[in-house]
Structure 1
Amino acid sequence: MITDRFYILTGGPGSGKTTLLTALEQAGFNTVAEVARAIIQEQVLTGGTALPWTNQQLYTEQMLHRSVQSYLAVKEQAKSSGESLFFFDRGIPDTLCHAVMTGQGISAAMDAIARAHLYNNTVFILPPWKEIYTTDEERKQNWKEAVLTYGQMKAIYTRYRYQVLDVPTGTPDLRKAFILAHTKG
C-alpha cells in the first residue's frame, strides 16, 4: 500500500521538526511541508482572517482542507516514485488535535476524513525540548502550551490507532538515524 510509505513527524511547536525534516531532505528523502505555517504566512500577507489568533474555525477548516490536498498530491506523486519514503511535517490528525485544543471538537466529517486518509502506522513525535524552544511570527505558543500540545498530539494519534514513537532529543543526525531505524524501505 502506498500510504505505508507516508511517515508523520509531529509534536508541539518548537520541538525541532523542521530542522529534522531538513536533515531528512538533505539525505535525499521526500519531505512534505507543514500546511499550517503556510496558511498563516499567506493570511498575514493578504490580510486574511484564517489565523489562529483571529478566526479559529476558519483557520481549522483551511488546515484540514489543505492537509487533505497535500496528502492527495503526495499520494499521486508516490504512485510514480517506486519505493520512496515520504516524511510529513504534521498530518491530518494534527488538525483534529488543534480543533480539540481550541474547543471546537472533532466533527463527524473531520473524523471521517482522518479515518479515510491514512499514513504509516508508526508516527514519530518530537517531545518538548526547552533548550531549543523559541517563538516567532507564526509560532506564538508559550512553553506551557507547547508541552500541552505534545500531550494532546499523543492522545489524538493514539485515538486513531497509530503507534506513537518519541524521537529522542539530540543532534539532527541522531534523530534522523532513530527515525530511519524505525522505517520500512
Structure 2
Amino acid sequence: MENDTASRHVILSGCSGGGKSTLLAVLRRRGFVTVEEPGRRIVAEEMRGEGKALPWVDLEAFARRAIEMAYHDREGIKHTENWVFFDRGLVDAAVALEHATGIAASDTVSAGSRFHQQVFMTPPWPEIYRVDGERKHSMEEGFGEYHRLLDAFGQLGYDTVSLPKIDVEARADFVLECLS
C-alpha cells in the first residue's frame, strides 16, 4: 500500500460503547469514506450461523477473522485519496489476538500496514455505554480493553488523541480540526 494513501486512513478506536459507530455515521454523512467495525460484522454473521467465532465463545477465532477482514477492507479502499475513517480494524483485532493468545500485536501488524499517525480514542463513557446483542461484555471489561489498546498503539508508534465527551457533531468537528 502506498504510504501517501495509508496516511489518509484514520483509526477510531477506544473503549467499547464510547461512541465510535455514531461518530463514524456522522463522518459518512459528511461525505467521507468509512469502514465499519469488523467485529460487529463478524458477530452479526456468526449469530446467523453456528456462532463459533463469537468473541465470548472463541476470542482467538474471532480475532483472526477480524484481522483477515481488516486486511480485506483496507485492500478495497487503498486508492481512496480523501480521509478514510475506520471503526476499529487491524490494530484492534491484533490487540484482541494478543489478549487471547499472547502473540504480540506488533508480530501481527506488518510494517507495511501503517495508518495515519493520529489515532482517535473514545475514552470510557459509562453514561452512554449499553450492552446489546452484539456487545455482551461489561463496562469493566471495556476499561481493560481500552487500556490494552492505548498501550498497543503507543508501542506501535502512534499518537493517541482522546476524543472529548461532547455531542457527536462537535466530536466530528474535533477530529477534522485535528487532521487539518
TM-score by length of 2: 0.92
Tell me the residue number matched to 2:178: 182
Residue 149 of structure 1 aligns to a residue whose secondary structure is helix
Q: Is contact 1:115–1:160 with CA below 8 Å preserved after alignment?
A: no
Q: Of 58, 63, 72, which residue of structure 2 is paired with 1:60?
A: 63
Q: Distance in 1 between matches of 2:104 and 2:174?
A: 35
**1:6 is matched by which residue type in structure 2?**
H
Q: Distance in 1 between matches of 2:110 and 2:85?
A: 17
Q: Deviations over 1:24-68 (max 9, x none)?
A: 111111111111110111011012411112222211111111111
**Mapping of residues 142-153 of structure 1, within 5 Å:** 142-153=138-149
Q: Of 116, 123, 136, which residue of structure 2 is paired with 1:120?
A: 116
Residue 117 of structure 1 aligns to a residue whose secondary structure is coil
Q: Distance in 1 between matches of 2:64 and 2:31?
A: 32
**Mapping of residues 89-104 of structure 1, within 5 Å:** 89-102=87-100, 104=101
**Mapping of residues 8-157 of structure 1, within 5 Å:** 8-76=11-79, 78=80, 83-102=81-100, 104-106=101-103, 111-157=107-153
Q: Unaligned stretches of 5+ in structure 1?
A: none
Q: Distance in 1 between matches of 2:143 and 2:109?
A: 26
Q: Distance in 2 between matches of 1:63 and 1:116?
A: 18
Q: Distance in 2 between matches of 1:150 and 1:107?
A: 17
Q: Distance in 2 between matches of 1:121 and 1:92?
A: 14
Q: Distance in 2 between matches of 1:66 and 1:73?
A: 11
**1:101 is matched by which residue type in structure 2?**
H
**2:92 is matched by which residue type in structure 1?**
D
Residue 179 of structure 2 aligns to a residue whose secondary structure is coil
Q: Distance in 2 between matches of 1:85 and 1:116?
A: 18
Shift of 1:107: 5.1
Residue 160 of structure 2 aligns to a residue whose secondary structure is strand
Q: Distance in 2 between matches of 1:106 and 1:71?
A: 22
Q: Is contact 1:93–1:114 with CA below 8 Å preserved after alignment?
A: no
**2:63 is matched by which residue type in structure 1?**
T
Q: Distance in 1 between matches of 2:145 and 2:104?
A: 20
**1:47 is matched by which residue type in structure 2?**
E
TM-score by length of 1: 0.90
Residue 75 of structure 1 aligns to a residue whose secondary structure is coil
Q: Distance in 1 between matches of 2:49 and 2:109?
A: 28
What is the count of residue pairs matched by the alignment? 177
